[in-house]
Amino acid sequence: MYLTTFSFKKCGFSRIFYGKDENRTRRRLTFIDLKLIFYYNIMDLIEHLKRKTASAPKRIVLADGEDIRAIRAADLLLREGLTSGLFLLGDPSVITRSALELGLSIDRANLVDPARSPDRHAYADIYLECHHHRISREQAFEEIAEVLNFGAMLVRQSAADCLIGGADHPTADLIKSAWWIIGMKPQVKTVSSSFLMILEDRNFGADGVLVFADCAVVPQPNPHQLADIAMAAAENFRSLTGAEPIVGLLSFSTKGSAEHPDVLKVRQAAEELKNRNPGLVFDGEIQFDAAVVGSICGKKAPGSPVAGKANVLIFPDLDAGNICYKIAERFGRARALGPLMQGLNKPVSDLSRGCSWQDICEVAVVTQNLA
């Protein structure tokens, strides 16, 4: 039975969910129904992004090219037409041997060993310029042979459209390579990150889809950085969902309910955001419940443009953002895709070192939709 809509009512300490089938008949939903709704919510978005990618595929770099997970992901992405060109960085003999052992076809992938690439000398010269000649030519020649640096250079030089790495490297190394080589967008001074969050309850966000930021990069953002993060996260949300972003600048205070330096920081960020992007729908400082629940927003922040419909949540610091996305993922059974790097000239995405090859495929699809 296909469920077109669902709602809930409180019953004691629990919630009873109801849905309507294709005949608009209302009935009580089982736990299996709810799991199917969540599954199709995830698949709806992923399939939508896959269709967009297949219609206009981009060239991607998988920096962790010798990793079996990256090789498996490359096989699927090439087989399903989800990339117009794919670089696997590492020793080609190692990559080819692993692919043969796994029975995978990566014949159409570009296997590049940065240390033996004919572009290494030219890229070392550009890398030296990126560092404003503060390092030696010898050091530049050595460092450009690192897969993250070489991958970022491929993107900078427009040999590829986006970079995906981190399965075998710390986030800090990926950010450093991207910051030095790919550089920042104009008018943006902050590299940050966001997660695309897919919730079981489609009453929140845009049909259950939200963006959380920053959850991985900036520990203690100042007001200017918070405004940068909000603008970049809103842009990502619009690109990935096609919906208009509604941004909540989160705090433990709503519109003056508390006074504290941390609250003042969020207010100042809101004022800067108003001046820099007056067309953006947002509010702050605002508490989480007021940002996402209309009835609560009506009491705590009457007249707020967010009106309890926030789909982009900006956290005041990295503690809050990192903890909250993991709580939503583990306790709330949300799906978290990312972190997606923000503020850079071209798309870069980080991977968890515990990621699966399927995760790499999905992040590759999402990242191409930001290119």
Burial class (CB in 10 A: 0-12, 13-18, 19+), 268: middle
For residue 181, pLDDT beyond 90:
yes
d(C-alpha 51, C-alpha 206), whole Å: 19
Domain range for 232 is 192-338
User: At residue 340, what are phi and psi to the nearest 5 degrees?
Assistant: -100, 125
Query: Tokens 């079981």 appear where?
Result: 200
Residues 292 and 171 in one domain: no
Residues 140 and 276 in one domain: no
CATH number at residue 152: 3.40.50.10950
Report if residue 344 sits inside a domain: no
Residues 208 and 70 in one domain: no
**Per-residue pLDDT averaged across 104-125, rounded?**
96
Report if residue 241 sits inside a domain: yes
Residues 148 and 246 in one domain: no
d(C-alpha 6, C-alpha 184), whole Å: 43
List, for residues 303-331, the tens digit of each pLDDT value: 999 999 999 999 999 999 999 999 999 99
Q: What is the pLDDT of residue 188?
A: 82
CATH number at residue 196: 3.40.50.10750
Residues 322 and 200 in one domain: yes
List, for residues 263-313, the tens digit of each pLDDT value: 999 999 999 999 999 999 999 999 999 999 999 999 999 999 999 999 999
Q: What is the pLDDT of residue 259?
A: 94
C-alpha distance from residue 82 to each of 56, 74, 160, 211 (Å) = 9, 10, 14, 23
Q: Are 208 and 198 in contact (CB under 8 A)?
A: yes
**Per-residue pLDDT averaged across 139-158, rounded?**
97
Query: Tokens 């941390």 appear where?
Result: 262
d(C-alpha 209, C-alpha 216), whole Å: 19
Report if residue 314 sits inside a domain: yes
Q: Are 3 and 33 in contact (CB under 8 A)?
A: yes
Q: How many CA atoms lie within 13 A of 167 on its CB side?
A: 27
Residues 136 and 201 in one domain: no
Q: What is the pLDDT of residue 30?
A: 52
d(C-alpha 99, C-alpha 72), whole Å: 8
Residues 202 and 332 in one domain: yes
Residues 118 and 16 in one domain: no
In total, how many domains does the chain have? 3
What angle, 0 to 180 degrees and rounded to 10, lies between the N-to-C axes of helices 31-55 and 357-368? 50
Residues 229 and 312 in one domain: yes
Report if residue 220 sits inside a domain: yes
